[in-house]
């Protein structure tokens, strides 16, 4: 099992992660619903996780996977606080549209 991973060049994992990361960025740019924007950030974090896990396996070093755990911690904390703030915003504005939140401009 482990040796058969050599059939896949590490480049493939790098390109896949890049693609997923760029899709995340695209989502952040074209969506206005703040909840979907948060989800796209989660997708970007996952692209990085995948890359770290791939390097960890190809180098035979566990440190990459440990880093993934720390990223998961940050992602979970971010989701909890972010969604809390979003629900609060929804209570005040009755919308989760991020373009309504530029009141401090001018």
Contact positions with other proteins (CB under 8 A) in 29-88: 29-33, 35-36, 38-40, 42-43, 46, 49-50, 53-63, 65-66, 68-70, 72-81, 83-88
Cβ distance 64 to 55 under 8 Å? yes
Q: Longest C-alpha distance within the chain, in Å? A: 60
DSSP 104: T
Give the footprint of other proteins on residues 4-33 (CB under 8 A). Answer: 4-8, 10-16, 18-27, 29-33
- Say if residues 15 and 67 touch (Cβ distance below 8 Å): no
Which residue's CB is nearer to other proteins, number 64 or number 104? 64
101 binds other proteins (CB under 8 A): no
């Amino acid at each position: 099992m482990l040796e058969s991973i050599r059939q896949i060049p590490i480049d493939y994992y790098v390109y896949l992660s890049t693609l997923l990361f760029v899709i995340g960025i695209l989502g952040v740019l074209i969506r206005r619903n703040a909840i979907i924007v948060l989800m796209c950030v989660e997708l970007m974090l996952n692209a990085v996780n995948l890359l770290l896990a791939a390097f960890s396996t190809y180098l035979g070093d566990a440190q990459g996977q440990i880093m993934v755990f720390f990223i998961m911690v940050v992602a979970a904390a971010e989701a909890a606080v972010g969604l809390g703030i979003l629900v609060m915003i929804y209570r005040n504005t009755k919308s989760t549209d991020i373009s309504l939140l530029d009141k401090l401009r001018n």
